[in-house]
Structure 1
Amino acid sequence: MVNFLVVSGASLAAIVVVFGVTFAISRRINRANVVDVAWGLGFVAVAAVAAVLGDGDPVRRILLLALVSIWGLRLAIHIHSKTAGKGEDPRYRALLREDYSARNVLRRVYLIQGVSAWFVSLPLQVSATAGPTPRALWPVAAVGLALWVVGVVFEALGDHQLKKFKADPANKGRIMDRGLWAWTRHPNYFGDASVWWGIWLITITGPLALLTVFSPALMTYFLVYATGARLAEKVMAGRPGFDEYCSRTAFFVPRPPKRG
């Protein structure tokens, strides 16, 4: 219990540092969406803290550090390359209601995301102080690893396909409806959710670990409702062809596109 409190407290401190530095950068460039870069980095910081300070199974600690780092660093690099030198994300303009005061940005963006990052990372913190995964739960961990792979592929490939689509001047003003985007309107968000449900399955070592199910559930809520898919679609509403795209393409969980 003592070691968990140490890991959890150090994880919170790491998140405060990551988001605090990002908030300072945000104030300097007057853009809130830089927090999206910190989102992935915050989890990498927690995974590193858990791997170093935890006294649980070392193999699982290193595995989780590797999985979270691959996901988090890729996401941070992608978001930075996507947003560097550009204006504010319309999602954050809508969320902040054009009020860019330090208090409003800190309260509505950084505080919420920082606390959420700590809560979502609870499975990593609990797992860092738990013993080896029982042999009977190895299949569960294997399913978790497979789900993580599916998530990373959907997220990375979806981002790549969208970037390539937007780079073609012929697609200006058109709706991306190819590749993974023909199977789900949000392959990147679906991939994110899959990654964290997979990580949660890997961290299950017994009944206590099951209580952290609210962590991936909260991540999924954010990806669907708070700062993810629903908010993105509010911004997209009214664009030519978007309603038709919605009518034949799954919202979140992939499925074959409807013929029409």
Structure 2
Amino acid sequence: MASLLEAAEVYYNGLEQTLWWPVKFCTYTTATCYILSIITGNVSQVDRVWTFLPTIYTAYFALLPLWPAVSSLPLFPVTPNELSRSVAQNYSPRALLMLSLVVLWMFRLSYNTWRRGLFNLHDEDYRWAILRQRLPVWFFHFVNFTFIAIIQNIILFLLGLPTRTAALQQPSALSTSDYVLATLAIIDIVCEFISDNQQWSFQNYKHSGKINQNEWFGANIAWTPEDAKRGFVTRGLWAWSRHPNFFCEQSFWAIITLFPILAPESPQLPASPLSNPTALWPLLPSLVLCTLFYASSNFSESISLSKYPEGYRAYQQRVSMFVPFLTPVWGFLLKLQGKQDKVDQMLFSHGSAESKKTQ
């Protein structure tokens, strides 16, 4: 561990100085998550801090004028002495707006993580348990070290970089693009909240057979035995997207990434912190996250297919994986094949009115 930290310290010296503290924090967080996963045998350590880490990185960049030049506490954030006076002394309104949206995102995800029980140190995401069964022991340990601990923490670090760019742009006031993107981000968070609640409501009904009359707005759906028998949710936003929550999650971080890119100051984007900058590097955070969610969704769907082979395969043919606007296209293609009515009956039939009244 000491040699790893020494190597990391050498690397820090080659980084642009506003990245020193976040990279150091990411290194320690990665090491902590991995060590805890080995000690506890539970690899959901990153899952428990997922909701907080992007907010921490975003807050560091948005609040650069707040931090001291020298830290008296380990891992306490600092503002580099070499930072330009305009950035070190003035808050960027764009960066502060982005921080506000990320904090709102954090509250939504924290609530959903809490009710799913993942803040409980003994709970583990069910997908890791299934992956552990499918892989040889040595290879699962390799995946835990490389992907679960290291790569996921790097992705969470990358999500803070758009705010770094916004902080360095130093706009005097918010622009039209900021207001438009902020509105889209709020709508996105609301839709993700609704999709999470619909899934939660369905799962509760599926396991208890009872409808909760006190659901959140948008999730007060009259589930039927037909829905429970199907095994997976196909109503509400889930009739338009197989993963509306994941679609909204990817869309949110794409919107955050666009704030500095679409701003009037965009020609002043700083060079990439990597040694080989490219024109597309500002898109890296959202692109990497989309790649992760695509792979994660495919794995989740392989589990669903093993449980509901006929129904879920029909669901894949009828409903888009992410983008809701593609679902009518899939329906039209099935109609041309003469299969739409049968598939719709399988997926969207909710039982008789009498069965609904008995719930």
TM-score range, shorter chain: 0.7 to 0.9
Which range is displaced more, 242-251 or 164-173? 164-173
SS at structure 2 position matched to 1:129: helix
Residue 251 of structure 1 aligns to a residue whose secondary structure is coil
- TM-score, normalization: structure 2? 0.62
Deviation at residue 253 of structure 1 after TM alignment? 0.6
Contact 1:15–1:45 under 8 Å retained in 2: no
- Picking from 160, 164, 182, the partner of 1:121 is 160
Letter of the 2:232 partner, please give it: I
Shift in CA distance, 92/67, structure 1 to aligned 2, threshold 3 Å: farther
Q: TM-score, normalised by structure 1?
A: 0.84
Q: Which of residues 196, 207, 220 is equivalent to 1:159? A: 196
In structure 2, C-alpha distance between the alignment counterparts of 1:219 and 1:251, rounded to whole Å: 16
Instruction: Extract unaligned runs of 5+ from structure 2.
Output: 1-14, 66-86, 210-227, 271-279, 332-339, 342-359
My pick for the range that moved more, 208-217 or 95-104, is 95-104
1:63 corresponding residue in structure 2 = 97
Contact 1:35 1:110 in 2 (8 A): yes
Q: Which residue of 2 aligns with 1:197?
A: 254
Check whether the contact 2:254–2:286 (CA below 8 A) recurs between aligned residues: yes
Q: Which has the higher contact order (CA 8 A, sep 6+)?
A: 1
Partner residue, 1:46: 57
Deviations 1:115-140 (A, max 9, x none): 222233321222222220787xx333
**1:53–1:236: structure 2 CA closer, same or farther, 3 Å change rule?**
same
Report the counterpart of residue 247 of structure 1 in structure 2. Answer: 317
- In structure 1, stretches of 5+ residues that fail to align are none
Please state whether the residue corresponding to 2:249 is helix, strand or coil.
helix
Other-structure match for 2:42: 31
Q: Which letter does structure 2 place at the counterpart of 1:161?
A: Q
Distance 2:312 2:161 in 1: 37
Displacement of 1:103 in angstroms is 5.6
Shift of 1:57: 4.6
Which residue of 2 is the match for residue 131 of structure 1?
170
- Assess if the C-alpha contact under 8 Å between 1:22 and 1:34 holds in 2: yes
Residues 15 and 118 in structure 1, CA contact (< 8 A), matched pair in contact too: yes
RMSD: 2.9
Rounded Cα–Cα distance in structure 2 between residues aligned with 1:29 and 1:203? 41
Between structure 1 and structure 2, the one with the greater Rg is: 2
CA positional deviation for 1:189? 0.8
The match for 1:206 among 266, 270, 275 is 266
Of Structure 1 and Structure 2, the greater helix share is in: 1
- CA separation of 1:87 and 1:37: change in aligned 2, threshold 3 A: closer
Q: How many residue pairs are counted as aligned between the two chains?
A: 254
Q: CA 1:161/1:129 → structure 2, altered by over 3 Å: closer, same or farther? A: same
Residues 33 and 89, structure 1, Cα contact 8 Å, conserved in 2: no
Give me the whole-angstrom Cα distance separating, in 1, the residues matched to 2:160 and 2:27: 14
Deviates more, 1:228-237 or 1:103-112: 103-112
Equivalent AA in structure 2 for residue 97 of structure 1: L
Task: Measure the CA separation in 2 of the matches of 1:37 and 1:183.
Answer: 29
Which position in structure 2 is the counterpart of 1:181? 238
1:92 Cα deviation from its structure 2 partner: 6.2
| 1:7 equivalent in alignment to 2:18 | yes
CA–CA distance in structure 2, aligned partners of residues 185 and 53 of structure 1: 40
